[in-house]
Structure 1
Amino acid sequence: MSCMHKIGLKMISFLALWAVVALPVSGAEEEPSTTPVAVVERTASKLQEKLAGQQKYYAANADELYALVDEVLLPNFDIEYAGKLVLGKSHWLAATEKQRTRFIDAFYSFLIKTYAKGVLEFDQEHLVILPEPNFSKDGRKAMVFTELIIDGGDNIQVNYSVRQTNGRWKIYDVRIEGVSYIQNYRSQFNAEITARGIEAVIKRLELEAALAKAESAPTQST
């Protein structure tokens, strides 16, 4: 059985987005947008710094965990471009400007609410970043190659697609053993949008995010 199946698709998907917490802080002195490798390293070191010794606290305070992940991820994640790719060209062009914005916001919230707690479960993993990324011909995109070493000796290839936008390098896709999370979600949403329409999908994502927020809210004693 493959590592993908043993660990589970849901956890691997989260792993690809957030497991960089185990990285050393070798890039801590660099600006996050300096190089493709630096943006991955900087995101990792920031999460590591924020989570150090606080896993139990964040496990009991989901809203604060969501806020932490958002604080660290948002400056380094090109959510608008990722959302556009996930929606796909035909659905993107068919959507109104308001629907595009709502989809991007709802998709980003969906990612955080669905996978944030997984960051607390990966204390023993190590992500090794290879120093030489693969650049596109125009130099505006790159693939950062990494290897995740799981306890027990299994190695998983986790590679980050980054692009330069407004002078900053930002992550927009992650490939786990060659499987793109963008393509995975595009396939899922394409089928649902074709069957139910984009408005129904947006409302579902917004509802799921609202329910997750309500469930994470502290209960007040009477």
Structure 2
Amino acid sequence: MMNALASRVLGPICIMLVMSFQAVAAEEPAALIERLGGQAIGIVANGADTTDDKQKKFEALFDEGFDVPLVAQIVLGRYWRTATAEQRDEFVNLFHKYIISTYASRLNAYSGQTFAVTGEQRLNDDEVMVKSVVKDPGGPDLKVDWRVLNRNGENRIVDVYVEGVSMAVTHRSEFASVIAQTGQVETLLERLRSQTGQG
């Protein structure tokens, strides 16, 4: 149920953020997320762009906004250690395609949501949790927190929490249940190849 709610409301907001992510490493995490949210709302709400145009922008800027290899490693969890180098590389690639195909289909789902940063919590020297709220005209407010990691002088999102539930952990649980069917990472890779049209 939480995953369905996150897909309905978080999807467009997540897309709104990543679609305007630029090289802004010097900016503080809270200011970064707030500014990007405001800019991205205008982009997603723009009816002039075609769905294909929006998807291309989403994919390009998703790669800039999120630390995709690190997120993929977090999502694969303990199976990252047992996967071969070739399987790791393929998983990162398939995970990227999976996220793009999952969220790009919701690029036109924006329906008047507003986004505001409400605070931040420093987790350690390199990580900050930026707290925000999504106000949905068609439903209750939703608390969304963004885990931002500064690595090599760049701030990037590595996880998103919806009402306290980590999306990385949610995906990890889903993927682990697939691997558990055989105990082999290859089982998950086969599933992702099928879902992303890669085989």
How far is 1:121 from its partner?
1.2
Q: Give the direction of change, closer, same or farther, for the CA distance of 1:148–1:45 in structure 2 (3 Å limit).
A: closer
> Could you tell me which of 121, 143, 155 is aligned with 1:157?
143
Distance 1:148 1:71 in 2: 24
Instruction: Give the AA of the match of 2:151.
Output: T
Q: Which residue of 2 aligns with 1:65?
A: 54
Structure 2's unaligned 5+ residue stretches are: none
Q: CA RMSD in A?
A: 3.0
Q: Which residue of 1 aligns with 2:14?
A: 17
142-151 vs 98-107, greater mean Cα deviation: 98-107
Q: Which residue of 1 aligns with 2:111?
A: 123
Equivalent positions of 1:22-171 (< 5 A) are 31-45=24-38, 47-48=40-41, 50-51=43-44, 53-54=46-47, 57-58=50-51, 61=52, 64-88=53-77, 90-130=78-118, 132-137=119-124, 139-152=125-138, 154-171=140-157
Residue aligned with 1:195, SS: coil
Q: Give the direction of change, closer, same or farther, for the CA distance of 1:145–1:209 in structure 2 (3 Å limit).
A: same
**Corresponding residue pairs, total:** 197
Distance 1:210 1:43 in 2: 31
Instruction: Please give the per-residue CA displacement for 1:79-131, whole angstroms capped at 9, x wherever unaligned.
Output: 1111111100x20110111211111111111011012131321230001112x
Alignment TM-score, normalising by the size of structure 2: 0.84
Residue aligned with 1:53, SS: coil
Distance 1:84 1:114 in 2: 19
Q: Which residue of 2 aligns with 1:181?
A: 167
- Percent sequence identity over aligned pairs: 23
Q: Give the direction of change, closer, same or farther, for the CA distance of 1:152–1:17 in structure 2 (3 Å limit).
A: closer
Q: Which residue of 2 aligns with 1:218?
A: none
Q: Give the direction of change, closer, same or farther, for the CA distance of 1:85–1:48 in structure 2 (3 Å limit).
A: same
Q: Give the direction of change, closer, same or farther, for the CA distance of 1:168–1:193 in structure 2 (3 Å limit).
A: same
Q: Give the direction of change, closer, same or farther, for the CA distance of 1:184–1:9 in structure 2 (3 Å limit).
A: same
- Between structures 1 and 2, the one with greater helix share: 1
